[in-house]
Chains A and B, each alone.
Chain A
Amino acid sequence: MRLNLQLKISHKGFILVLVPLVFELVFLIVLSVLLQQAEVEVQRQVRSKAIISQANALSKLFYDAGVAMGGYSITKSPLFSDRYDKIVRQIPLDLQELKGLVGDNDKQQLILGRLQTITSDGLKILGEAKAAIDDNRVDVAQFRARHMYKQIRQLADQLQDELKGLTEDERKIESESPEQQNRSRAAVKMFLVFGVVLNIGIAFLLLYYFLRSISTRLSTVTDNSFRLARGQKLRPPLSGNDEIAQLDDAFRSMAEALAEASRKERAVIENAADVICSIDMDGKFVAVNPASYESWGFYPDELMGRRFIEVIMPEDVPDTIRAVRSVRGATSKVNFENRVKKRDGSMVNVLWSADWSEKDRALFCVAHDITQRKLVEEAIKANEARIRNIINNMMVGLIIITRDGLIESINPRTESMFSTRSHEMLGRHVMSLFADARHFSVSDPNDRQSFMETLFTKALNRIGEFDCLSANGEDFPVEISLTEFVSPDGAVRFMASVLDVSERKEVERMKKEFVSTVSHELRTPLTSIRGSLTLLAVGAMGALPDQAKKVVNIAERNTIRLIGLINDILDVEKLEAGKLDMELVDVAVASIFERSEQAVNTFAANNGVLLDMKPSGEMVHADGDRLVQVLVNLISNAVKFSPKGAAVTVSSAEIPGGFIEVHVTDRGRGIPESFKNRLFQRFQQVEASDAKKKGGTGLGLAICKGIVEQHGGTIGVESEEGKGSTFWFRIPKAQNLPKQPVQVLEPAMQSNQAF
């Protein structure tokens, strides 16, 4: 049984057919053997009968030959003679025939041999008798006859005995045969009946077994499918590996997968954050997942059986009904938004995804809470509105342009700035907004190209100044900054922030005018005061009493100081605004040194300080006057703080990096470490009393720093307290090949503002 269970159904079917067939085959072979045996038996019986009959015939012939010879000897009638001859001829034939019948039976062959001898002896005797008769030797014949008779008689008896011996076996066979035949016939019959019955039996048995094994297994599978449908536990798995077992196995994995899928589905539904529900034809909830509590405050049980529009905000009901109705029409799916009234009276924005199932006659819905999204959307909208508002009301013009310079969008400020309307500007080339458009052709690609290059160079990621052209033909100054960005379509765009600086320029102009006015208004009277005082001091108006001269000198000195202060303030003002006018030319260091020395010579001499000027031979790229101003300032400071009789050394040298470094070294008191970093700030003095004692505004070094830095250079100090200081500054070396220094026409122009 166990072995059979391992077989496949095809194998079982094969066995079902093959076993009876083999059995039948064996049965037929046995049957044919039996039939053959019966056939042999019949043949043997027939042969026995023939042998017996032939033996009898031979015996009779022999007897007849004797009778015929007797008759012939008596009658000499040819009738007997012919008969005799006939018999004599017949005897060997019969004997031969008998021999053939006997076949290979040794005993019978032996008998036949003896029979042959006997018959030939007899026939010989009879032949001799006949010859004697024919020769009329009756005596001989009679003698012979007598003698012969005995012999014949003897031979005949012998023959009779032998024949009897021959037929004895046959008769025995003959008498035995029918019984044997009957027996074998019965055996065959029985065998036939038994074989057929057995065969049918086996066939039925096998059939029963196979049917049973298949059907029970199949019924297990069928039962499993019912169990699966009812959700019951499946029966234990079928053993074996036949098709049914495989089917069962496949069915079980399918059932497992189904169970897994359904478990997952349930888990998804049970744990979903969205409300998942079914609504029947009447609009009532027929199934709701637990998310309803979290989302709407209702337990699923509370919702079951209720009409779903009861939880919808009344204002949204008509739209909701319309949407739900549409789902039963052409479309089987619909998405709609509405607001659900929660149990606590608050509401949530919900996005419904409804799916109509014609089979279930129900609407399957997933209700997604989009309150947060709505809030975000509203916030985004509000933000957008705010940004839009800012953009619309900002004082900066915004222009979005393509890489080629075509205007894509502008804000209202741009419209007012250019005195035009948005629709007139969009699509135009940005170049048409610039004063350059007067001199170049907006339609010429080359002009456009070079304009765009200029625009990008001056304004991309920096602020560039331009002159723009408004629609009414007026130029106005602007500051433009270009920013590159990638628009949502992936294309590169540029946003130009355009600031109308007309007003600022105007203010700047006014400030400049104010400064120059103040400068003019202050200096004009000071010029007269100073001139007058100097004239007095030098005695140009006649000699003054000593006391008066002293006072006039004080007045003159303080006037000069006041002038210096005004000059410094104006310079600082300009430096801070980056408006200090500088004319950068290549100028020899030696010339700077010389001019500076001239300016401070007297001052140094008055202070009893020696100037040691050691210029190098290079040229610098600088504004000569400003550089003289710096150097004079540094030398003056050095002189001020040098002890009497000490020297101030001024030297220059080229340093790596294309700079000329100038050193001003004094033997003064030095600068405290803590003060060094404040030294170049405005209104800084090492000691509060210095301003009074040494004069100076406290602006000199700040101006020096400004001037040097505006040259692209650096300034600094190295100092050791009590030993002196070295002020240094670096200025770019002249880049051009050495040439004649440019003649500066106003050599003494600023010479009066050193202090």
Chain B
Amino acid sequence: MKVLIIDDEEDFRTVASSCLGLLGGDTVAEACSGKEGIEMARSDVPDVILLDLCMDDMDGTKTLASLRENPETAEVPVIFCTTKGMFPEFEEMKKLGALAVITKPFDPLKLSAQIKDILKTAGFACDQALSVDS
């Protein structure tokens, strides 16, 4: 499973990519801003994008809207990653096309499985990922 992590915090990117790569066996790409993330997603379309909601430059909502505008990335499933996890906002995000929200701090051991569960529930095929799931 190819995961793109868009987060402006380097520490988080490192930990999350380690959890996914080392523990979940996923292919992880990292982007430090919304803008970079959009570009990276266009050049190499991921299976799923883990998008931070609160970023200084271009926040998650805007990034998502931008991703949806772009035909290459319009269909890519997006999971928000936030410390807030409030329903009104989540409702908004669902309207924008986000699949779910994973709240920080997450369980490092389960992060990969959690993402796959969400994709499976939403009906996305990720056989490769599932087969890799331990």
Is there a chain A Cβ closer than 8 Å to B51's Cβ? no
The distance in angstroms between the C-alpha atoms of A530 and B85, with both chains bound, is 19
The residue on A at minimum CB distance from B91 is A583
B31 at the interface (CB under 8 A from A): no
| Contact among A524, A531, A749 for B19, CB-based, below 8 A | A531
**Given A581-B88, A745-B121, A752-B106 contact (CB < 8 Å):** yes
Within 83-106 of B, Cβ neighbours of A (below 8 Å) are at 83-88, 90, 94, 99-106
A531 adjacent to B101 (CB under 8 Å): no
Min C-beta distance of A733 to chain B, whole Å: 23
Q: Contacts A535-B108, A538-B109 known; A528 to B117 CB distance under 8 Å?
A: no
Q: B104 touching A532 by the CB < 8 A rule?
A: no
Complex Cα distance, B118 from A749, in Å, reads 10
Q: Is the CB of A748 within 8 A of B11?
A: no
A524–B83 contact, CB under 8 A?
yes
Check B117 against A519 for contact (C-beta < 8 Å).
Answer: no
- Chain A residues within an 8 Å CB radius of B94: 745
Contact of B18 among A540, A563, A581, A749 (CB under 8 A): A540
* B107 in contact (CB, < 8 A): yes
Whether B83 contacts A531 by the Cβ 8 Å rule is no
0/1 string, A513-537, CB within 8 A of B gives 1: 0001001100111111011101100
Q: In the complex, which residues of chain A have a beta carbon less than 8 angstroms from the beta carbon of B85?
A: 749
Is B65 interfacial (CB-CB < 8 Å)? no
Interface string of A732-748 (1 = CB under 8 A from B): 00000000000101111
Nearest chain B residue, comparing its CB with the CB of A530: B105
The secondary structure that dominates the B interface is mixed
A750: interface (CB < 8 Å):
yes
Cα distance A532–B14 in the bound complex, in angstroms = 9
From residue A558, how far is it (CB to closest CB) to chain B in Å? 13
Tell me the nearest residue of chain A to B121, going by C-beta. Answer: A745
Q: Is the CB of A527 within 8 A of B23?
A: no
Q: What is the count of residue pairs linking A and B with beta-carbon distances less than 8 angstroms?
A: 92
Q: Does the CB pair A520–B117 fall under 8 Å?
A: no
A residues less than 8 Å from B90 (CB atoms): 746
One of B11, B23, B114, B117 near A540 (C-beta < 8 A): B23
Chain B positions within 8 Å of A525 at CB level: 11
Shortest beta-carbon distance, B47 to chain A, in Å? 18
User: Of B15, B18, B84, B87, which is in contact with the most chain A CB atoms at under 10 Å from its CB?
Assistant: B15
With a CB–CB cut-off of 8 A, which chain A residues contact B87? 581, 583
Is B130 at the interface (CB under 8 A from chain A)?
no
Tell me whether B36 is interfacial, beta carbon within 8 Å: no
B104 near A527: Cβ-Cβ < 8 Å: yes
Q: Is A749 touching B105 in the complex (CB atoms < 8 A)?
A: no
A534 to B, closest residue via Cβ: B108
The answer to the question of B58 belonging to the interface, with a C-beta cut-off of 8 Å to chain A, is no
* B62 interface residue per 8 A CB criterion: no
Query: Per-residue CB proximity of A679-721 to B under 8 Å, as 1/0?
Result: 0000000000000000000000000000000000000000000
Complex contact A523–B101 (CB within 8 A)? no
Nearest Cβ on chain B to A577's Cβ, whole angstroms: 13
Q: Which of A520, A538, A583 makes the CB contact (< 8 A) with B54?
A: A520
Size band of the A side of the interface?
A: 20 to 34
B16 touches A (CB below 8 Å): yes
B8 to chain A, nearest CB (A): 11
Q: Pick from A531, A583, A747: contact of B105, CB below 8 A.
A: A531
Known: A524-B104, A746-B101, A749-B101. A535 touches B12 (CB 8 A): no
B9 within 8 A of A: yes
Q: Are B15 and A748 in contact (CB under 8 A)?
A: no
Q: Are A523 and B18 in contact (CB under 8 A)?
A: no
C-beta contact mask, B112-127 vs A, less than 8 Å → 1, else 0? 0010011001100000
Contact A531 B86 (CB under 8 A): no
A531 and B18 in contact (CB under 8 A), knowing A520-B54, A747-B117?
yes
CA separation between A527 and B18, bound complex, in Å? 13
Compute how far the CA of A530 lies from the CA of B111 in the bound complex, rounded to whole angstroms: 13
Q: Are A748 and B18 in contact (CB under 8 A)?
A: no
Q: Mark A195-207, 1 if CB is under 8 A from B, else 0.
A: 0000000000000
Query: For the complex, is B22 an interface residue (Cβ under 8 Å from A)?
Result: yes
Query: Is B84 within 8 A of A534, CB to CB?
Result: no
Instruction: A746 to B119: give the CA distance in the assembly, Å.
Output: 11
Chain A residue nearest to B53 in the complex (CB): A520
The reply to whether A528 and B11 form a contact with Cβ atoms under 8 Å apart is: yes
Q: State the Cβ distance, A534 to closest chain B Cβ, in Å.
A: 4
In the complex with contacts A520-B83, A527-B106, A746-B100 CB distance below 8 A: yes
* Inter-chain contacts of B88 with A (CB < 8 A): 581
Partner of A526, one of B100, B105, B114, B117: B105
The answer for the CA separation of A745 and B106 in the assembled complex, in Å, is: 17
Cβ-defined contact, A748 with B117, below 8 A: yes
Name the one of B22, B102, B114, B122 contacting A535, with C-beta atoms under 8 angstroms.
Answer: B22
Interchain CB contact (< 8 A) of B12 among A527, A538, A747 = A527
Query: Bound complex: CA of A527 vs CA of B82, how far in Å?
Result: 11
Interface residues of B (CB under 8 A from A): 9, 11-12, 14-16, 18-19, 22-23, 54, 82-88, 90, 94, 99-110, 114, 117-118, 121-122
- Give me 4 other A-B pairs in contact (C-beta within 8 A), A540-B22, A749-B100, A751-B107 excluded: A531-B105, A583-B87, A748-B114, A752-B105
Query: Across chains A and B, which 7 residue pairs bring their CB atoms closest together, nearest first?
Result: A531-B15, A527-B105, A534-B108, A528-B11, A540-B22, A523-B83, A520-B83
